[in-house]
Structure 1
Amino acid sequence: MTLETRRWLWTSCAALLLALGTACDGGDDAPPDDACGEPLYAGEATDEAWRTFVDAKSRPDDSSQAVTLVSPAPGQTYSAADAPPTWRWTSPLASRLPSREPVTPADVPPSRTPARGMLAWLGNLLLPSAEAHLPPVTGDFYWVQVTVPGRQCPVELLTSNMEWQLDAATWDVLRAAADQDLRVQVTSAYLVQNRLREGPYRLASPHTIRVEVAR
């Protein structure tokens, strides 16, 4: 196959890919209007699960089945010399059994529909290194947000685990705000195939913590 032929094939496929994207997408895959970007992920959490949380931010606050944040405790103080801590919580949602409801077309995210499948196939043909969509997730998920004074965006984690072992980089961000009040909020929800089925639930009062410089 000559270079000109390969270029013609690539251009034709690219045009088809763009046309399908315009016809089938409808903007569904556009990133949420969130200037802070995505959080850290742990457990089975995915970006599509996070977008479900973001889409539900405008719902009224409900703390009826919020987590019990075991650590950090309200008013807990850390030393800046401490190793990164592990935060833990319990949740009523953790006892839920996976949904046995039949999966309907409405429960399948747009990326899993036949049209999307063809679009993804063409995309992988043209750009084999492109990241594929992760499978939709079902279960209880937790969005932990730490508000740091002087920082526009919170430090965030979305996880399916019942704990957060802070990494060194995250701990450095919190230590940089030493001797100031930090607020820890946890939003929980139960998802079925990436779709919200219970929640979101938020702590009625975020826990306030502080990192102090050793003197």
Structure 2
Amino acid sequence: MRHPSTACITALALTLSACDPETSESECGEPLYAGKATDEAWRAMVDARKKPRDSSRAVTLHSPTEGEVYSADATPPVWQWSSLSASLFRPQPPRAPRSLASWLGELLVPSAHAHLPPYTGDLYWVEVSTPGGKCPVVQVLTSEVSWQLDANSWAELGKNAGKDLTVQVTSAHLLQNTVTEGPYSLATPRTFRRGAP
């Protein structure tokens, strides 16, 4: 009987790990990505939502303002916020040098790597919802402190013209795709409307 090759064992392990139910995505689908945000960082944010809700260090949302009404023919706005946690100094972990043995081992038996480097920094998950809605109408995950709504997102919000919409911003600090601070959410989501045509 022949022993399976290392390559076959590695391929089997990768195939089985892809079926892990723990890696399932949110039932509402992924958000848009902006700045340096990645899908791996978003999965960390989804997992962090299991923690108790905390608004102690939530962002200050500058726009939209509470009760703001955008006219039916308004151009897509830029929403902005500020964050106390973004101003905190956090030392970056030192990078360990690769040993010769590690480098040679990688040549002989390659290991699987994420398609993007792990994210370290503050992230903001902006979700726009209708009251009682199960999933956001539009959402974005960004490393920026603003969001220029794109034409498609603005059109989706236009489908709910005349209805109250809410904006919730969830923030967290990540260290290599692991939430180390937060998540923090607005105590009360901001309400706004798009005018009916």
Fold shared by both chains (TM-score > 0.5): yes
Seen in structure 2, the aligned counterparts of structure 1 residues 210 and 72 have a Cα distance that, compared at 3 Å, is same
The residue identity in structure 2 corresponding to 1:77 is V
CA RMSD, Structure 1 to Structure 2 (Å) = 2.7
Q: Counting helix residues as a fraction of each chain, which structure ranks higher?
A: 1
Within 1, Cα distance between the matches of 2:75 and 2:132? 23
TM-score (norm 1): 0.75
- How many pairs are equivalent? 181
Seen in structure 2, the aligned counterparts of structure 1 residues 96 and 179 have a Cα distance that, compared at 3 Å, is same
Q: Aligned with 1:84: secondary structure?
A: coil
Within 2, Cα distance between the matches of 1:101 and 1:65? 24
Deviation at 1:94, TM superposition (A): 1.3
Q: Of 69, 74, 82, which aligns to 2:74?
A: 82
TM-score (norm 2): 0.81
Q: Of 175, 179, 194, which aligns to 1:192?
A: 175
CA offsets 1:59-85 (integer angstroms, 9 cap, x no match): 111111100000001111101100001
Gaps of 5+ in 2: 97-105
The residue identity in structure 2 corresponding to 1:141 is L
Matched, 1:142 2:135: no
Partner in structure 2 of residue 213 of structure 1? 196
Within 2, Cα distance between the matches of 1:28 and 1:103? 32
Percent identical: 51
Within 1, Cα distance between the matches of 2:118 and 2:43? 12
Matched, 1:153 2:135: yes
Partner in structure 1 of residue 13 of structure 2? 20
Seen in structure 2, the aligned counterparts of structure 1 residues 204 and 20 have a Cα distance that, compared at 3 Å, is same
Seen in structure 2, the aligned counterparts of structure 1 residues 68 and 37 have a Cα distance that, compared at 3 Å, is same
Moved more, 147-156 or 197-206: 147-156
Within 2, Cα distance between the matches of 1:97 and 1:28? 36
Deviation at 1:97, TM superposition (A): 2.8
Seen in structure 2, the aligned counterparts of structure 1 residues 151 and 205 have a Cα distance that, compared at 3 Å, is closer
Within 2, Cα distance between the matches of 1:143 and 1:89? 12
The residue identity in structure 2 corresponding to 1:19 is L
